[in-house]
A and B are shown apart, each in its own frame.
Chain A
Amino acid sequence: MIELRAVTVTIAGKTLLSIPTLSFEAGVRYGIIGENGSGKTTLLRILAGTLLPITGSIHGINRQTIRYLPQAPYAFNLSVRRNVAMALPGLENAQELVDRALRRVGMEALAEKRGNRLSGGEAQRMSLARVLLTPCEVLLLDEPTSATDIRGMDQVEQVLKDYIQETGCTLIFSTHSPAQALRLADRVVYLEQGQVVETGPAEQVLRHPRDDRTCNFLRHWQLDVNNHTV
């Protein structure tokens, strides 16, 4: 179990995140929802270790077993195949793993295209293939479908479900879409202005929110949870 205790992140005098306590159970899928600037990316960054909290501590995390997909992953000026293979040092079956990862996200036809020539959606799928290349214990994804179209989104969500089923990893992802959180997450954390407003099972938080701020956010997004659409 990953546990955050009294974590505060302050940059240039502004508090981006202030969490007295928050925990993530192993093998559970968590959706972090909230508006722009609510602290979703900051939370994922401190979990990934790319940002250090000013105060507080994070327990139960082994950074060697984490894979993290940032909101704007870098697509190198190398072929898609080499971009995906970069996280695989000297494995005998590297080629096979890369081909499989590319097939998973429907990118096999673009294997020789340069990473920096891909469209936003293609780059996002390539980055996902790269991050899912090997099994991990904790998968952190920062808005993994923000640049993909509806068809691509369905594909990515299916890929994630398959990967989680295969590996049994903990998934923590951020999204603007409550509907996506409902489709993918077991539990939801709603953030507002760097603070955890509400957390609980996805169905409960998204269909029957207890806090007025969560209600307001869901109303704002005009969520039709009954139809599972944005």
Chain B
Amino acid sequence: MELIRRLLDLLFGADPELRQIIAVTLRMSSLSTLISTLIGVPLGILLGENDFKAKGLVTRVVTTLMGLPPVVAGLIVFLILSRSGPLGSLRLLYSVTAMVIAQVVLITPIIIGLTSNLVSLRAASINETCAGLGINGSKRLWYTLLECRIPFISTMLAGFGRAIAEVGAVQMVGGNIQFKTRVMTTAIMMQTNMGQFEFAIALGVVLLMLSFVINSLVYRVQEWDNRD
């Protein structure tokens, strides 16, 4: 009972650290998802719509990167942003910006891969139908986007889900600094290691609730789209 009372206190009380952690997590995940979507959707459409010689190779590379281990992404971004790295002068290491960059590296291939699959399933038929109606160029692209609008939202939310649950890369480049770069996953890891299970469980509950809200949103959007 004591554990539950303390959990409720943490969740609905005025703990500044918990609020800060949730805010940083949401800011980082939203920004990285937005940037990944802006990069990944156009590239995914290009890959899905067009046939070119190296398409098989590019698709295999993207598929491989979709399963990129977070610590590898974290290591790459760490080496680039570290003092001796090519972007070391920007002094971005151990900042939310560095964490966003690492997440963009992780999520963008997922968005490209899923978008490419979505588009390639429909592209041939849409292109032929549009060509037959004299619809070309940007207008055809608009209809492809319009047709894939609901799956695109699901793709974006899949990216957000990956971002919010990720721990390895953000730990490496963010450093888990209190009131600065600490996010829910890194905080759960740290609190568990310290034996502070109430705080870790409270964060876990918040993470699950956020995941439930996101899935409910996807469900509602799909339900709305399936209406007659």
Contacts and interface: CB of A to CB of B under 8 A. Distances in A.
Contact of A64 (B122, B129, B134, B143): B134
Contacts of A49: 131
B146 interface: yes
Contact of A87 (B127, B133, B150): B133
Contacts of B131: 48-50, 68
B147 interface: yes
Contacts, number: 54
B82 to A, nearest CB: 48
Contact of A70 (B122, B129, B135): B129
Interface in A64-117: 64, 66-70, 72-74, 76-78, 86-87, 89, 113-114, 117
A173 to B, nearest CB: 13
A130 interface: yes
A131 interface: yes
B132 A73 contact: yes
B225 interface: yes
A171 interface: no
A130 B146 contact: no
A86 B125 contact: no
Indicate the member of A50, A66, A114, A127 with the most B CB atoms within 10 Å: A50
A64 B128 CA distance: 15
A87 B128 contact: no
B22 interface: no
> Range of interface residues on chain A?
20 to 34
A17 B162 CA distance: 49
Interface residues of B, number: 18
A69 B225 contact: no
B126 interface: yes
A69 to B, nearest CB: 6
A7 interface: no
A185 interface: no
B147 to A, nearest CB: 6
Given A113-B228, A117-B228, A76 B132 contact: no
Given A48-B132, A69-B132, A131-B133, A77 B225 contact: yes
A70 B228 contact: no
Contacts of B228: 113-114, 117
B135 A86 contact: yes
Given A76-B143, A114-B228, A70 B132 contact: yes
Contacts of A127: 129
Contacts of B150: 77
A169 interface: no
A16 interface: no
Interface in A33-49: 45, 48-49
A73 B134 contact: no
Contacts of B135: 86-87
A172 interface: no
Nearest to A141: B132
B119 to A, nearest CB: 13
7 contacts: A50-B131, A69-B132, A73-B129, A74-B128, A87-B134, A117-B228, A127-B129
Given A86-B143, A89-B139, 12 more contacts: A50-B132, A66-B132, A67-B132, A68-B131, A68-B132, A70-B128, A73-B125, A73-B132, A74-B122, A114-B228, A131-B132, A131-B133
Interface of A: 45, 48-50, 64, 66-70, 72-74, 76-78, 86-87, 89, 113-114, 117, 127, 130-131, 140
